[in-house]
Structures are given as structure tokens and as C-alpha cells.
Structure 1
Amino acid sequence: MALPEQLLLSDLLRRRVRCDQGLDHGAGLQVWMHPPVHRVLGWVSKPSAFGARRLVWRLNQLRGLTDLEVLVQGEPAETEQDVVERLPNLIEAAVLDRRQQPIGSLADAAIELRTGRIRHYLVSRSDPRLPGSSRWRLSLDRLVDQQPGQVFTALESLDDLPLARASVRQEFLRRSRRWRDQMQEAGSRVEERLEGWLEDPPWQEESPSPMAGEAPDEGWDDWPESWDPSEPPSRPSAPDGRRQRRSAQPPNDEDPWF
């Protein structure tokens, strides 16, 4: 069974250990690491719910992974819980910013299975044991110093780190910020169009005007060149060219209005 090139420590610890003899040696309990060089040497399992007996497995004993189990080969080293608690460990160590104020804790680590080298840590703002919380990727070059239970960085806040996994709340806030930015951008475009529309409204388009010396409309072509407003209007010209004027006699002598 081919192993992945990289594995999260939490994925290794949450599986139960089964050896090549088919025996179940319990679930993973704790990582065995060398903090000065950020390297994982193995992990510890708890074979039974009762008792202080613990089993230590080397990372090179790993032979395969299933959905629920870790397949190993060889015999483990037996130890006690008191010894396991004295093993150096950076997981769940507090992450301090440049002012040496805690901004989170180391919740997980990405392990290179072939060498055991830690590629980067995952930082949690809240309790690392809470499922579904956000994780920020902390590379090794961002570390300034380290002590038992503490990791020093030059960060201003966790926002300086790339987000590796967003919780439901963090994803909602991120989408809300994106929607707000999109609405602001759309509002700015509408405002720019409105300003341009007010500066150059469509009803101010130039139209031909006789007062400006332009040619009159076609409807004014038959207007007489000289016109006396004191003269009564005349009827249209007859076909023979004579102009028919209105007679002073009403056309109907019986018209009651005359």
C-alpha cells in the first residue's frame, strides 16, 4: 500500500494502530518529536483504556493507512505515561506575536513521511481540540524562537498568515466581506454612470433651429416669403392658380348664427 508523501499529524493520531500480526494496539495518543530541528520521530498509542502502559512507534514502522487504522510492522517500545509526559512536544504550544502576546496555539503539523520533517504548522485561534475551527499555516521561517510550551514569532496577528482551513463562521465572514466589496464596487460604477448622465443629459441633444441660421424644417417650406398679419388667412390655391378667398356671405343663408 503506497503511502502519501505528506500527512497531517492529526490524521495519524486519530487512527487506531494495527500491527502485521493483526493485533489492535489502540488509538494514537501523542506525537514523539525533536523540536530543535522540527522533526517527527514517531508517535505514542494507548493500548487499553485503563493502565499506564504506553506503546511508542517509530515513524519508519508505518506501512499503510486506511480510513480508520494505521498499519505498522515490527514491535513497539513500551513505556509509562510519566515518561511520555516528559517527551518534548510543541503541539498545543502557545503562539506569541511580536509583542509576546498569545494569538493562538499550534494545533497540527504537516509531516513529510519519508524523512519525518515538519513542513509547516497549523495554528488555531481557539482550543485546538474543538472540531471545525479555523487553521492558519505557519511556516518554519516565521518562527523566531521556541521554548517548552511557547513559540515566538514576529507576527502582528493571525491575519498575517495564509488561511489553511476556514471554519463555518470564518467562511461566512470571508464571503460577507467579498459580497460587501462587490456591492461597493457595483455602487461605485452606478455612481460614476449617474454623474456622467447628469453632466451630459440626453435631453440636451442639439436640434436644428431656424433662429440659429439653420435650414427650417420641411413643414415650413410653403410659408410665404412676405406675410402681413393684418390680412385674413386665405384658402389654399385652386388648381388653376387662383387663390380662393373666403366670401363675406355665409355659404348657407339659413344658418341661424347669422
Structure 2
Amino acid sequence: MPELPEVEVTRRSFAQAIQGAQVQSVLMGKPLRWPLGCDPEDLVGRKVLGIRRRGKYLLIDLTPGLLLLHLGMSGSLRFATDLAPSGAHDHFELVTSRGTLRLHDPRRFGAVVHAHSEHDPVAVKLLGGLGMEPLSEAFVLADFAAGMKRSRMPVKQLLLAGRLVVGVGNIYASEVLFLAGIRPTAPASRIGPVRVRKLYEAIQGVLAQAVELGGTTLRDFSSADGAAGHFQTQTRVYGRGGLPCYVCGTPIRLLRQGQRSTYFCPQCQRA
């Protein structure tokens, strides 16, 4: 599933190219996770003001209104002036004066939803419960520590939930917990302030590194200009079950948490 770094990489790969474009047509394929919420023809003639991100949602600001776009489990975007004819798994195209933005989504868990503004109940329902943005000034250590103290959830499950901080997906959760020396099963409320600060800093550092490396490409992720990510070449524990820890040599262990794979070092992550 594309996580925050992959979505941010995707945003950066086409945001400047599409800014200022005028919508010429909107083409819909098979139904996605949620309906568009307006007649596609209503979007024709609107101008694209810019592309923002909130959590794993891309926000396409229009004049007027906005589109909230989610890549779901297997979605990816392409933006170009010379795209090949759409295929069976291409379910949304925003044709503009500067190129076509196409959503390719084999599993159709993604979505494109129209809202009049961020105050529209549709937008509030999708964005209102999201936690702090970890790569922004909104990510405040004191608020993060307070949220950790209030939760009895295992710390990895709390990170994945996205209500305290957004974007720490499965791969990145394993990585940040390793850097902070925290066992994934530890109750969040029992983690002391020193390790909470280490976790806070690891979240910022790992996600920033992932963005700079173009995200993680394990199967078929690529940005809107077709570039693959390379963070998977830098993982310290994720995907390394049974291999020696880079720090202490202890074999990395694999366990299941909430039907997700968790990798950790039993020696380096005792707490």
C-alpha cells in the first residue's frame, strides 16, 4: 500500500507540471471505493490551483472546490501529455490543458471524491480524524508524548492507526521502532520520555529519508513520472527476518500484529 512517503513523492512528481492547468474533460472507468460525488462534466473548465497532501490523501485544489484522491491498496498515478490509451485498470482520468492525470488501480480500493471545500462534510469525514503531519511544524513532541501516554495500545499498532501521527505505515513503523530501541509490542503508555523523544525523532528522520529516496518500491510503486523508489535498499529490519542485525548480529525476528508483518531485533529492542 502506498504510504505517506510514496504519496508525497507522487505529489512532488507532478504538482508543478499540472499547476495552472484547465480541466478539459473527466473520464471515469469502473467504480472506485467511493463515488466521485458530482457529475464529471461539472469539473470541466475549472482551473487546477495546486496539489497538496494530507496524510495519504492528495488534495487537488480547483476553482472552485477540490478533489480528494486516495491511492488505496494498489493505486498509482501517471501524469503526461502522451499517455498510452487507457487500459482495464485505469479508472479515472483528469484531462487538462497541460497533460492527463490517470489513476491506475487494479484492486479499485482507491478513490477520487469531490468536495466544495475542506469544510464540506465529505472532506471532514475523510480528513477530520487524521493525526499530526510528521514532516511539518504541526508535529509537536509534547503532543506526541501526551498521545503516547494516553494509549494502552501496542506502540506499533498506535503508529499504524494514524490518529496520533499520520503516515507511519507498516514498513516505516518497523524501522522507526528499531532506531528508537522500542519493542513493537510494548504498550505505548509505558514508554519513557527518553525513548518517546527517540521515536519522535526517528519518525521524522525515516520518513524524510524515504521521501528523498523516492519512497519504497516492493512491487510496482512508481511516482507520477514513472520513477521507482529506493528506500527498500536502506531498511535495517523490515524484510530481513532471520538475517543478522546490522548493529548486534542477533537474527531479526518476524511476528504478526493485526495481520501485518512486524520485524524487530530482540537484542536492540528490549524496551
Same fold (TM over 0.5): no
Q: Which structure would you say has the larger RCO, counting Cα contacts within 8 Å and 6 or more residues apart?
A: 2
Q: Which has the larger radius of gyration?
A: 1
TM-score, normalization by structure 2: 0.30
Higher strand share: 1
